[in-house]
């Protein structure tokens, strides 16, 4: 199972692991199929750490989401370079639409992490790591209460199952 993200920096193919993270993949696909990600941005880019997106439209307009999904971080998948994981709030089971692509081995995010839960990895970039590398090095700034926001929008023009 794979999802193609068409961005204004190029295409990123995400290979999803429905065996290890069934609920998380189902949740992600529901947003993909509903067209939720089309026109959202990577709004938080920290080189050496991760790029995060899927929750905002350009101008930092937050999109509404569905109910949160159970945290499946205990599935043995690691937050290694070019893996994709769900973002969440400080509550363990609060992931909705936002996801991030690790651009480092962020083992401190693995179960049990800092808070006993960790962040759930549910796939990896199988094509387009060079595009991820382009995005990780864009210039960032502050926007309202958000730091590390790209100066030029990094837009997910389309997300579709391939």
Partner 1 sequence: MPHTTAAFLDFVEQRASQAQQLYLLGDIFEAWAGDDDLDDVYNRRIVDALARLRDQGVALYWMAGNRDFLVDERFAQASGAVLLPDPHIACIAGRRIVLTHGDAWCTDDEAYMQFRAQVRTSVWQQQFLALSLPERKKIIESLRAGSQQAQRGKSYEIADVNASAIADLFEKSGTATMIHGHTHRPARHEHLHGSDTRVRYVLSDWDLDHGQPRGDWLAIDSAGEIRRCGLDALNRT
For partner 1, the binding residues (CB under 8 A) are: 44, 46, 49-50, 52, 55, 87-92, 94, 98, 106-115, 119, 142, 145-148
Closest to partner 1 by CB, 4 vs 138, is: 138
**30 contacts: CB under 8 Å, gap ≥ 6:** 66
Closest to partner 1 by CB, 8 vs 94, is: 94
CA distances for 138 relative to 8, 57, 105, 151, 153, angstroms = 12, 18, 20, 8, 10
Closest to partner 1 by CB, 74 vs 126, is: 74
Is the CB of residue 153 less than 8 Å from the CB of residue 42?
Answer: no
Closest to partner 1 by CB, 58 vs 112, is: 112
**Length of the chain counted residue by residue:** 162
Q: What residues are paired with 13 via a beta bridge?
A: 4, 127
In the complex, least distance from residue 127 CB atom to partner 1, rounded to whole angstroms: 26
In the complex, least distance from residue 96 CB atom to partner 1, rounded to whole angstroms: 8
Question: Torsions phi, psi of 78, nearest 5?
Answer: -105, 150
In the complex, least distance from residue 17 CB atom to partner 1, rounded to whole angstroms: 19
In the complex, least distance from residue 114 CB atom to partner 1, rounded to whole angstroms: 5
Is the CB of residue 75 less than 8 Å from the CB of residue 120?
Answer: yes
**What's the angle, vertex CA 73, arms to CA 68 and CA 81, rounded to 5?**
110
In the complex, least distance from residue 87 CB atom to partner 1, rounded to whole angstroms: 4
Closest to partner 1 by CB, 10 vs 68, is: 68
């Amino acid at each position: 199972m794979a999802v193609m993200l068409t961005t204004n920096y190029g295409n990123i193919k995400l290979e999803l692991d429905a065996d290890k993270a069934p609920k998380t993949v189902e949740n992600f696909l529901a947003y993909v199929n509903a067209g939720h990600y089309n026109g959202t941005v990577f709004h938080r880019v920290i080189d050496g750490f991760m790029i995060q997106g899927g929750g905002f439209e350009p101008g930092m307009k937050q999109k509404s989401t569905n109910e949160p999904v159970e945290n499946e971080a205990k599935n043995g998948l690691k937050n290694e370079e070019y893996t994709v994981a769900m973002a969440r709030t400080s509550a363990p089971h609060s992931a909705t639409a936002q996801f991030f692509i690790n651009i480092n081995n962020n083992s401190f995010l693995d179960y049990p992490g800092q808070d006993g839960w960790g962040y759930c990895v549910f796939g990896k970039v199988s094509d387009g790591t060079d595009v991820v590398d382009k995005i990780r090095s864009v210039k960032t700034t502050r926007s309202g209460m958000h730091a590390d926001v790209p100066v030029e929008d990094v837009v997910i023009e389309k997300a579709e199952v391939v």
